């Protein structure tokens, strides 16, 4: 599955850190939030697996944009956050 630019996605509302040691590249403040795929940045070995020498798993990495007003209760007219996220953290929105 390759997500096209403009695809709406949701970051999984998941907390692997509650299940044991992990190396997470998805900021907590984005979890459960909806964003839009800006572009596919390439495919890379999943750092969450690499950190534990787990078998190599190549995953698509995307640049995903989130309106800042959706992330925080503060007033954020014209601000957005653009973040690299691995496909394993994204679900259809």
Q: Which of 32, 47, 51, 93 binds other proteins (CB under 8 A)?
A: 47
Q: Which of 5, 8, 32, 41 binds other proteins (CB under 8 A)?
A: 41
The span from the CA of 75 to the CA of 83, in Å, is 20
Q: Angle 31-32-34 (CA atoms, 0-180°, nearest 5)?
A: 105
Among 2-10, 11-19, 64-72, which window interacts with other proteins (CB under 8 A)?
A: 64-72
SS3 47: helix
Among 5-13, 14-22, 84-92, which window interacts with other proteins (CB under 8 A)?
A: 84-92
Burial class (CB in 10 A: 0-12, 13-18, 19+), 66: buried
Site residues, other proteins (CB under 8 A): 24-27, 29, 41-42, 44, 47, 61, 65, 68, 71-72, 74, 77-86
């Amino acid at each position: 599955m390759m997500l096209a630019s403009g695809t709406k996605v949701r970051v999984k509302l998941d907390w692997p850190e509650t299940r044991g040691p992990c190396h997470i590249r998805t900021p907590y403040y984005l979890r459960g939030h909806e964003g839009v795929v800006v572009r596919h940045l390439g495919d890379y070995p999943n750092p969450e697996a690499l950190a534990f020498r787990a078998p190599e798993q190549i995953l698509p990495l995307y640049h995903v944009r989130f309106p800042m007003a959706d992330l925080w209760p503060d007033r954020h007219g014209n601000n957005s956050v653009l973040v690299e996220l691995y496909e394993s953290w994204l679900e259809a929105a």
